[in-house]
């Protein structure tokens, strides 16, 4: 993604109504190198940062004050609802117990969110996670490991709550 265009997008979007001008916002994000499907709706207070890649499928909603930081690859499928204040970030550190700084060398891991999923408010999705299709992630969850499709997960860290089908 083009970080300069993303910077312009993030600063311009904050002056736009939260749930209006979706086509204009998508146009700017496409210009920044984001792959965006049809009928994608991103609230103006959502921020997208980083120099990695981001693809968003058709009919996806990204809610108020979400933060997406990509230093590698993030794939958000189609027909997804992402509630307000969700954090999706690909960056982390290797734990280095021998160093003065326990947060050792930085690294990036891809994130995949399967189509048809619903991500609850205040959820954190950590690097290296693949969320299966048609999942519900409960509000306030921390997704630290990949999940299987057609299930509800919740908690810190997330645990299987129930099978949906």
Annotated active-site positions, please?
A: 93
- The side-by-side arrangement of strands in the sheet containing 142-143 is 47-49, 67-69, 87-89, 124-125, 142-143
In sequence order, the β-bridge partners of residue 92 are: 107
Q: Is residue 40 exposed (0-12), middle (13-18) or buried (19+ Cβ within 10 Å)?
A: buried
Q: Strand, helix or coil at 25?
A: helix
Nearest Cα neighbor of 55 from 74, 72, 42, 68 is 74
């Amino acid at each position: 993604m083009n970080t300069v265009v993303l910077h312009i997008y993030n600063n311009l979007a904050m002056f736009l109504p939260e749930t209006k001008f979706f086509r204009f916002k998508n146009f700017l994000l496409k210009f920044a190198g984001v792959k965006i499907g049809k009928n994608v709706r991103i609230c103006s207070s959502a921020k997208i940062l980083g120099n990695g890649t981001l693809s968003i499928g058709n009919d996806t909603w990204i809610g108020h004050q979400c933060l997406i930081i990509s230093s590698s690859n993030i794939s958000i499928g189609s027909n997804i609802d992402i509630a307000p204040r969700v954090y999706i970030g690909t960056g982390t550190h290797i734990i280095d117990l021998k160093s003065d700084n326990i947060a050792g060398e930085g690294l990036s891991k891809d994130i995949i969110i399967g189509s048809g999923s619903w991500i609850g408010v205040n959820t954190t999705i950590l690097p290296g996670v693949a969320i299966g299709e048609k999942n519900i992630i409960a509000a306030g969850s921390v997704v630290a490991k990949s999940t299987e499709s057609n299930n509800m997960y919740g908690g810190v860290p997330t645990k299987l709550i129930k099978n949906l089908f």
